[in-house]
Amino acid sequence: MRNIAPELTRQEFDRAFAEIAPALGKQEAAVEANRCLYCFDAPCTAACPTHIDVPRFIKKIASANLRGSALTILDSNILGLSCARVCPVEVLCEGSCVMHGYNRKPIEIARLQRQAMDWFYEHGARLPEPRVVPGRAVACVGGGPASLACAAELRRHGVAVTVYESKPLAGGLNTYGIAEYKLRPPDALREVALVRSLGVEFRTGVEVGRDVGMEEIEERYQAVFLGVGLGPTHALAAPGSELVGVVDALRFIAEYKTGRPQVGQRVMVVGAGNTAIDAATAARRLGAEEVTILYRRGEKEMPAFRYEYELAKGDGIRFSWLTLPVAVHGARSVEAIECVRMELGPADRTGRKRPQPVEGSNFRLACDMVILSIGQSRWIEFLRHWRGVELADGCVKVDPETGQTTNPRYFAGGDCVNGGREVVDAVAEGARAARGIVKWLT
Amino acid sequence: MADLTTIFAGRIESPNPFWLASGPPANCGDQVMRAFDAGWGGAVWKTLGEPIVNTTSRYSSVDWNGARMMGLNNIELITDRPLEVNLREIAEVKRRYPRQAVIASLMVESKREAWHEIVKRAEGAGSDGLELNFGCPHGMSERGMGSAVGQVPEYTTMITAWVKEVARTPVLVKLTPNISDIRVIARAARRGGADGLSAINTINSITWIDLDTLTPRPDVGGKSAHGGYCGPAVKPIALHLVQQIAGEGLPVSGIGGVQGWREAAEFLLLGATTVQVCTAVMHYGYRIVEDMIDGLDNWMDEKGFRTIDDFRGRSLPRVVEWKHLDLNHRIVAKIDRDKCIGCGLCYIACWDGAHQCIHRDGGAPPEQVEGASRRKIAWTPSPSVPRDPAGKTPPERIPRVDEAECVGCNLCRLVCPVEDCITMEKVETGLGPETWEERSGRGAV
């Protein structure tokens, strides 16, 4: 890279990535918990994909029954700790809070959930001992949120579970892919340890299909859960994308969370989803002077959540709307990105206006680094190996009530099914598949 | 600007009806002078008597929903300062603040000479009146003083009479609420010649128990003793007891849970001549009197009351015995559908705590309604936009009142978190008013 931002000291890093939503104080939590109306048939519970009984866990905080509160959460969502930190609550539980109905601030459900979770992990993280039903074994392929949730739920039903994870650490994107100011790897790993404490066996650094054969899996387990997530970030279909300084957003995030990657002084982030925002804010906080998000559609079409957009603006990220990169220029390293202006045409399949290039509008922006965040590819090749597991649009087809695929021995959930949604969706789908598996095994 | 000046028992004048109650805020001259600078109209000095020894700690409180000190409990005794010092300071305060009222609270052993002696000395120091502390429920009562006197009508009459033998200023008797009928003691005080009553003193209480140490609070080296309860929590009890003694022909200084002008107005409407405040000052300082004066003044202007006498006791005729209430007065609950936020609290309260006449889903009990709702949401994905962007509550979440069944109990309106969303509307029954007494009198029950 041509111009590299100076590396942060440990202290500078900690300051730059300080937690965005710090824990509530005890008294603060009591006040907030008491503000909750304790709705009957509460809409927040309906809005949560895992259907945590929100008023119940909040009232247990109010009554200082923190263990009861934590177990209420974990009963529905084994990843209650990470969800409390990363959930887009403004479009889920907090977005549905009745307080909006009379112009009050919604209850801070996420921070209250964190209160209970922090207490739980600070007090030994003890879950009730799961019962054991001999003779049942299930493999979970992939060690991310969907598999963790599936594994925990299976253990609660007495099923033996082995999780196969190709990376050295389990946790999936919770460990490797979420902005540091929201969730840190040690916290993600505490949840992995909790799942392990239920008796789940983890085989990390083991890639199914390479280190262990599919036949072996089928032989040893009565059912298989596929929680493999999505593939690598799409490459930029433009000349120059092999230049030094062109990086994949997810890899960039994983690197800064586990080491100290180099960051250019002027950074272009291509794409405007939530991952793009995580990458852009990370680059800025790591010292980049100037970070710009390039997006081929307009502000209104941006897929990032409002909350993330505000966060990025607060970090001084620039946005260049209706801008499509067509080439990256440079001798060896990135020196500039060439873009064309776009205009919006009629709506496409997703209901968003289709962007079209404006003839002859090419322009160049000087930069030192290009971070690509234009969606993850799907594991089509990999998934085809599983006999009889049908795909639709690159995603695994499942029965929405049980998570069962078109091959009855296989169940699936998480990003490989939904195409890339939230952690909480993966948890819900993993747990749903576990219940489906138990039903199918019985 | 309304006129707030007050004259108690014909002789104790103060620029406003707000007095510091006998307690920690009125412990010494410096404090009382600072209170008068802040605007207090009078002060009842911390009870004079033989100096005592206190324990630590002395206070504990009940917090409510994260708010501090909904109720306060104390086991502090009367003054721990030498009598001469207190008397010297009373004289100094009176010299520097002739317009404000200083009342000496007194408590000595039940001997005629002892009472004669302290009355003379307190009046000699210049106090404008005397308040006999027959109410303190802890510590002193074990030594035959305080509520040990105020719980026995004969003692109350006797000691009041001893005081009246020598007193030249008005004598107020401070009543304990820890008795089955406060009117008995009020009458006993009147028989002894009292010129006025103060009510109420603190209520016997154990505030809470530490669930780690299993020691009740306040914790005095691992043990506790019952204390006297006061603060916002006791106001309703105090209002009732003040109303009870309002008909005894003596002026009343109302005490108990006064936080600001609103509570003060309530005591005055039930016939009190002045109000006394302690806990709120312990919590926030003397400065609270500014809004007490300002708020009462604004309310009086708004209501067209020129002086406090214009509204004193105005609510008393509206407190009657149950048998005089109109049985034909009928109201039912109405839910404003535009204001309802769908919290379901009125529904569950009506089903579990009232008369099962608020419904969702056509009248099914809550378990069924919740079960149906849970089944509906049982699988993911859930909607990603949970609320109508216009902020409208989904119609199926808005409960409906079965007006024919509604008994008009008012519980739903009390639990509803939204202002004016549930109102109680009058229903014309076509029947004239009729009380229980009237109905039973004509043999119709």
The residue-averaged pLDDT of B84-106 equals: 98
- In terms of DSSP bridges, do strands B171-174 and B129-133 run parallel, antiparallel, or are they unpaired? parallel
CB within 8 Å: B386 and A46: yes
- Mind listing the pLDDT tens digit for each residue in B174-222? 999 999 999 999 999 999 999 999 999 999 999 999 999 999 999 999 9
Q: Which residues contact B115 (CB under 8 A, 6 or more apart)?
A: B106, B108, B159, B162, B163
Query: What is the dihedral angle through the alpha carbons of B156, B159, B161, B162, rounded to the nearest 10 degrees?
Result: 180
Cβ-in-10-Å burial (0-12, 13-18, 19+) of A284 comes to buried
Q: Which of B338, B340, B343 to mutate to test the interface with A (most CBs of A within 10 A)?
A: B343
In this complex, is the C-beta atom of A41 within 8 Å of any C-beta atom belonging to chain B? yes
**B156-to-B109, B148, B159, B171, B406 alpha-carbon distances in Å:** 13, 9, 6, 13, 49
**Cβ-based contacts under 8 A for chains A and B:** 94
- Nearest-Cα distance to chain B for A185, in Å, is 27
Give which of B392, B425, B431 is closest to B410, Cα–Cα.
B425
- Mind listing the pLDDT tens digit for each residue in A17-70? 998 888 999 989 999 999 999 999 999 999 999 999 999 999 999 999 999 999
Minimum CA–CA partner of B380 in chain A: A49
- Mind listing the pLDDT tens digit for each residue in B27-38? 999 999 999 999
Separation between Cα atoms, residue B362 and residue A414, nearest integer Å: 38
| Cβ–Cβ < 8 Å for A166, A97 | no
- The owner of tokens 């739903």 is B412
Separation between Cα atoms, residue A280 and residue B408, nearest integer Å: 60
pLDDT at position B388, please? 64
Collapsing DSSP to helix, strand or coil, B72 comes out as strand
The shortest CB-CB distance from B344 to any of A27, A39, A101 is to A39
Neighbours of B63 (CB within 10 A): 13
Amino acid identity, position A106: P
pTM here is 0.88
**Mean pLDDT for chain B?**
94
- In terms of DSSP bridges, do strands B203-205 and B227-230 run parallel, antiparallel, or are they unpaired? antiparallel
CB within 8 Å: B383 and A429: no
Neighbours of B319 (CB within 10 A): 12
The residue-averaged pLDDT of B430-439 equals: 95
Confidence of residue A275 (pLDDT cuts 50, 70, 90): very high
Minimum CA–CA partner of B421 in chain A: A102
Separation between Cα atoms, residue B100 and residue B286, nearest integer Å: 15
Neighbours of B212 (CB within 10 A): 6
- Mind listing the pLDDT tens digit for each residue in B225-255? 999 999 999 999 999 999 999 999 999 999 9
Neighbours of B98 (CB within 10 A): 11
Q: Which helix (H) or strand (E) segment is B261 a member of? A: helix B261-269
Amino acid identity, position A143: G
The pair of structure tokens assigned to B36 is: 């008068």
Preceding amide of B381 cis, omega within 30: yes
**A400-to-A1, A140, A272, A438 alpha-carbon distances in Å:** 47, 19, 29, 16
Q: Which residues pair with B318 in a beta bridge?
A: none
| Cβ–Cβ < 8 Å for B228, B141 | no
Asked whether the predicted pLDDT for residue A329 surpasses 70, the reply is yes
Q: At what angle do helices A109-122 and A66-76 cross, to 10 degrees?
A: 110
Separation between Cα atoms, residue B74 and residue A9, nearest integer Å: 54
Separation between Cα atoms, residue B146 and residue A355, nearest integer Å: 86
| Cβ–Cβ < 8 Å for B274, B264 | no
| Cβ–Cβ < 8 Å for A57, A113 | yes
Asked whether the predicted pLDDT for residue B385 surpasses 50, the reply is no
Confidence of residue A221 (pLDDT cuts 50, 70, 90): very high
The pair of structure tokens assigned to B279 is: 């806990």
Confidence of residue B384 (pLDDT cuts 50, 70, 90): very low
User: Cα angle at A384 between A381 and A385, to 5 degrees?
Assistant: 100
| Cβ–Cβ < 8 Å for B267, B285 | no
Asked whether the predicted pLDDT for residue A290 surpasses 60, the reply is yes
| Cβ–Cβ < 8 Å for A338, A363 | yes
Query: From the centroid of its chain, how far is CA B320?
Result: 20
- In terms of DSSP bridges, do strands A363-366 and A223-226 run parallel, antiparallel, or are they unpaired? unpaired
Its sign, for the CA torsion B158, B161, B166, B171, is positive
ipTM over 0.85: no
One-character DSSP codes across B146-194: THHHHT-HHHHHHHHHHHHHH--S-EEEEPPS-SS-HHHHHHHHHHTT-
CB within 8 Å: A34 and B383: no
Contacts of A39 in chain B (CB under 8 A): 342-345
The residue-averaged pLDDT of A155-169 equals: 96
Separation between Cα atoms, residue B326 and residue B324, nearest integer Å: 7
Neighbours of A129 (CB within 10 A): 9
Confidence of residue B375 (pLDDT cuts 50, 70, 90): confident
Asked whether the predicted pLDDT for residue A115 surpasses 90, the reply is yes
Contacts of B66 in chain A (CB under 8 A): 27, 30-31, 33-34
Where in the sequence numbering do the catalytic residues of B fall? 136
Q: Which of B210, B358, B380 to mutate to test the interface with A (most CBs of A within 10 A)?
A: B380
- Start-to-end CA distance of chain A, whole Å, equals 58
User: Cα angle at A255 between A252 and A257, to 5 degrees?
Assistant: 110
In this complex, is the C-beta atom of A402 within 8 Å of any C-beta atom belonging to chain B? no
Q: Which helix (H) or strand (E) segment is B164 a member of? A: helix B153-166
Q: At what angle do helices A66-76 and A54-62 cross, to 10 degrees?
A: 170
Query: From the centroid of its chain, how far is CA B440?
Result: 35
